[in-house]
Amino acid sequence: MGLTKTEHFTEKQNAIATMAKALGHPARIAILEYLLKVDTCICGDIVNELPLAQPTISQHLKELKSAGLIKGSVEGTSICYCIDEKGLEKLQSYFATISLKLNKKNNKCC
């Protein structure tokens, strides 16, 4: 099949899964970290930073963007990409909550 049955899950579950999936590739983690590292918002020099061809990186950027993890705005000939705090904040708070719940129930199992 290869077709995820999203309709069976809650909106929140799907939303978290979508963002997690977007970060489920080392290149996209690397892009995120690069965007975090550089002070100025970054354009196409991500291509010089990563060992992947330009179309591949463009694709990865698109996925990060559609997952709400980065933003891009036209800046002359080039495009300025940067982290979308809102998306990352959602992910971060989700995992923080999970962690909290885990600690609360000091799981004794397994």
Cα separation, 54 vs 51, in Å, equals: 9
Write the binding mask 2 to 41 for DNA: x where contact by CB under 7 A, - elsewhere. xxxx---------------x--xx-x--------------
Residue 72, φ and ψ in degrees, nearest 5: -140, 135
Start-to-end C-alpha separation, the chain: 33
| Residues forming a β-bridge with 79 | 74
> What is the size of the binding site for DNA (CB under 7 A)?
30
Between 65 and 90, name the residue whose CB sits nearer to DNA.
65
- Contacts with its own copies by CB under 8 A lie at 4-6, 8-10, 13-14, 16-18, 20-30, 32-33, 36, 39-41, 50-52, 71-73, 80-83, 85, 88-89, 91-92, 95-96, 98-99, 101-102, 105, 107, 109-110
Cα separation, 100 vs 4, in Å, equals: 29
